[in-house]
Amino acid sequence: MALTDDDVRRVAELVRIRLDETEVKPLGEELSRIFSWIEALREVDVAGVAPMTSVVEMQLREREDAVTDGNCPDRILSNAPMAEDGHFVVPRVIE
Amino acid sequence: MPSDLARLGVAEAADRLAAGDCSAVELVEACIAAQEAARDLNAVVVDTAERARAAAVHADQRRQRNEARPLEGIPVAVKDIFCTEGVATTACSRILDGFVPEYESTVSARLWDAGAILVGKTNMDEFAMGSSNETSRCGPVRNPWSPVNGPSLVPGGSSGGSAAVVAASTVPAALGTDTGGSIRQPASFCGVVGLKPTYGRCSRWGIIAFASSLDQAGPLTRSVADAALILEHIAGFDPRDSTSADLAVPDLHTALQADVKGLRVGIPSEYRLDSLPGSISDLWEQGIAWFRDAGAELRDVSLPHTRYALPAYYIVAPAEASANLARYDGVRFGARSMGADPDELYTRTRRDGFGEEVRRRIMIGGYVLSEGYYDAYYLRAQQVRTRIAEDFRQAFQDVDVLLTPTTPSPAFPEGAKTDDPLAMYVNDIFTVPASLAGLPAISVPAGLDEDGLPLGLQLVGRAFDEVTLLQAATILEDAAGTFRPPAAAA
Residue B461 contacts residue B441 (beta carbons within 8 Å)? yes
Closest CA to B45 of B97, B115, B114: B97
The percent of residues in chain B predicted with pLDDT above 70, rounded, is 99
Closest CA to B72 of B87, B51, B49, B56: B56
Q: Which helix (H) or strand (E) holds B432?
A: helix B432-437
Give the pairing type, strands B75-79 and B173-178. Answer: parallel
Of A7, A51, A56, the CB nearest to B379: A51
Query: What pLDDT is recorded for position B489?
Result: 47
Query: What pLDDT is recorded for position A54?
Result: 86
Neighbouring CB atoms inside 10 A of B386's CB total: 18
Check pLDDT > 60 for residue B2.
no
Torsion angle, CA of B407/B409/B410/B411, rounded to 10 degrees?
A: -90
The secondary structure of chain A as a DSSP string is ----HHHHHHHHHHTT----HHHHHHHHHHHHHHHHHHGGGGGS--TTPPPP--SSS-PPP---S---S---HHHHHTT-SSEETTEE-------
Peptide bond into B158 cis (omega under 30): yes
Check pLDDT > 50 for residue B139.
yes
- Main-chain dihedrals φ then ψ at residue B79, nearest 5 degrees: -55, 140
Check pLDDT > 60 for residue B50.
yes
Residue B240 Cα distances to A45, B159, B308, B461, angstroms: 37, 24, 33, 26
Query: What pLDDT is recorded for position B488?
Result: 55
A24 in contact with B, Cβ within 8 Å: no
Q: Inter-chain contact B387–A14, Cβ cutoff 8 Å?
A: no
Check pLDDT > 50 for residue B136.
yes
Residue A24 contacts residue A59 (beta carbons within 8 Å)? no
- State the smallest CA–CA distance between residue B389 and chain A in angstroms: 9
pLDDT tens-digit map of B148-174: 888 999 999 999 999 999 999 999 999
Beta bridge partners of B174: B77, B220
| Architecture of the domain whose range is B2-262+400-489 | Alpha-Beta Complex (3.90)
What residues have CB less than 8 Å from B262, skipping those under 6 apart? B295, B296, B297
The percent of residues in chain A predicted with pLDDT above 70, rounded, is 98
Neighbouring CB atoms inside 10 A of B375's CB total: 9
B274 in contact with A, Cβ within 8 Å: no
pLDDT tens-digit map of B304-363: 999 999 999 999 999 999 999 999 999 999 999 999 999 999 999 999 999 999 999 999
Residue B280 contacts residue B403 (beta carbons within 8 Å)? no
DSSP state of B188: H
Query: What pLDDT is recorded for position A94?
Result: 76
Distance in angstroms (rounded) separating the CA atoms of residues B210 and B79: 14
Of A42, A53, A56, the CB nearest to B200: A56
Confidence category of residue B261, pLDDT binned at 50, 70, 90: confident
Confidence category of residue B3, pLDDT binned at 50, 70, 90: low
Distance in angstroms (rounded) separating the CA atoms of residues B259 and B24: 35
CA B313 to mean position of chain CA atoms: 17
- Main-chain dihedrals φ then ψ at residue B119, nearest 5 degrees: -125, 65
Distance in angstroms (rounded) separating the CA atoms of residues A3 and A25: 9
Of B102, B363, B383, the CB nearest to A49: B383
Instruction: Report the complex ipTM.
Output: 0.95
Average pLDDT over chain B, rounded to whole?
96
Check pLDDT > 50 for residue B384.
yes
Confidence category of residue B394, pLDDT binned at 50, 70, 90: very high
Q: What is the residue extent of each domain of chain B?
A: 2-262+400-489, 307-381
Closest CA to B245 of B302, B197, B174, B300: B197
pLDDT tens-digit map of B400-431: 999 999 999 999 999 999 999 999 999 999 99
Write out chain A residues lying below 8 Å of B196, CB-based: none
Q: Strand, coil or helix: what is B435?
A: helix
Residue B397 contacts residue B302 (beta carbons within 8 Å)? no
A2 in contact with B, Cβ within 8 Å: no
Interface of A with B in 28-47 (CB under 8 A): 30-31, 33-35, 37-44, 46
- Extended strands (E) in B269-395: 297-301
Q: What is the residue extent of each domain of chain A?
A: 5-43
Neighbouring CB atoms inside 10 A of B374's CB total: 13
Distance in angstroms (rounded) separating the CA atoms of residues B222 and B366: 40
Write out chain B residues lying below 8 Å of A19, CB-based: 351
A83 in contact with B, Cβ within 8 Å: no
Distance in angstroms (rounded) separating the CA atoms of residues B7 and B331: 44
Check pLDDT > 70 for residue B45.
yes
Residue B171 contacts residue B119 (beta carbons within 8 Å)? yes
Distance in angstroms (rounded) separating the CA atoms of residues B51 and B56: 9
B261 in contact with A, Cβ within 8 Å: no
Per-residue burial over A22-51, b if 16 or more Cβ lie within 10 Å, else e, is eebeebbebbbbbbebbeebeebebeebee
Distance in angstroms (rounded) separating the CA atoms of residues B378 and B211: 14
Give the pairing type, strands B173-178 and B441-448. Answer: unpaired
Check pLDDT > 60 for residue B490.
no
Check pLDDT > 90 for residue A35.
yes
Interface test with chain B among A9, A38, A45, A62, by most B beta carbons within 10 Å = A38
Distance in angstroms (rounded) separating the CA atoms of residues B360 and B125: 14
Distance in angstroms (rounded) separating the CA atoms of residues B354 and B356: 7
pLDDT tens-digit map of B188-223: 999 999 999 999 999 999 999 999 999 999 999 999
- Main-chain dihedrals φ then ψ at residue B285, nearest 5 degrees: -60, -40
pLDDT tens-digit map of A53-87: 888 877 888 889 999 889 999 999 999 999 999 99
